[in-house]
Amino acid sequence: MDALAKAISKLNLKLPEGFRIEASKTEHIAGKMFMGGLSRNTSKEALFDYLSQYGKIINFTIKTHPETGVSRGFGFVLFEDKEAVEKVLQVKEHQVEGRKFDLRKAMELKFPPRKVFVGGVNPKTSEGNISQYFGTFGAIELPVYLKTNER
């Protein structure tokens, strides 16, 4: 049990589902896996039971739409150790409640993002004004329109 888990258990705190997974977005954790291709109707209980056969689960979440609460078809599971991940990866096909889904090692997010979409900019805005404004956030590279090779 790591220091965070010990502190939480001593304080008798109930953290929200997926808390440990969200907290580890930007770091590589050997026991973290991505689940993709989940049915909107897949129950958390059935998925948890299926995954538990591979090892102890520390945290588990199915991502949902913030407004509707409907499953977005993917989620994450955090196993206690990397041996559980290796067991999962040895199985070619995973299925819960009659639906196949994918399990892969999770990748950490790279921050800060290299590209940011900015919409609603007046086409008459000069490159200088754009560079001046966005340059305050770091080095920028203006996009090139692929069809005409122009900015």
pLDDT digits (tens, 9 = 90+) for 53-69: 999 988 888 888 888 88
pTM surpassing 0.85?
no
Q: Look at residue 2 in the predicted model and tell me its pLDDT.
A: 53
Q: Look at residue 37 in the predicted model and tell me its pLDDT.
A: 93
Q: Identity (one letter) of the amino acid at 149?
A: N
Residue 64 to residues 17, 24, 36, Cα–Cα distance (Å): 12, 19, 13
pLDDT digits (tens, 9 = 90+) for 114-138: 677 777 888 888 888 888 888 877 7
CATH architecture assignment, domain 3-105: 2-Layer Sandwich (3.30)
In the block, tokens 């560079």 appear at 131
pLDDT digits (tens, 9 = 90+) for 92-112: 999 999 999 999 998 766 665
pLDDT digits (tens, 9 = 90+) for 2-46: 555 554 454 444 445 555 555 455 455 788 899 999 998 888 889
Give the DSSP per-residue string, the chain: --HHHHHHHHHT--PPTTHHHHHTTTS--TTEEEEES--TT--HHHHHHHHHTTS-EEEEEEEE-TTT--EEEEEEEEESSHHHHHHHHH-S-EEETTEEEEEEEPPPPPSS-S--------TTS-HHHHHHHHGGGS------BTTTTB-
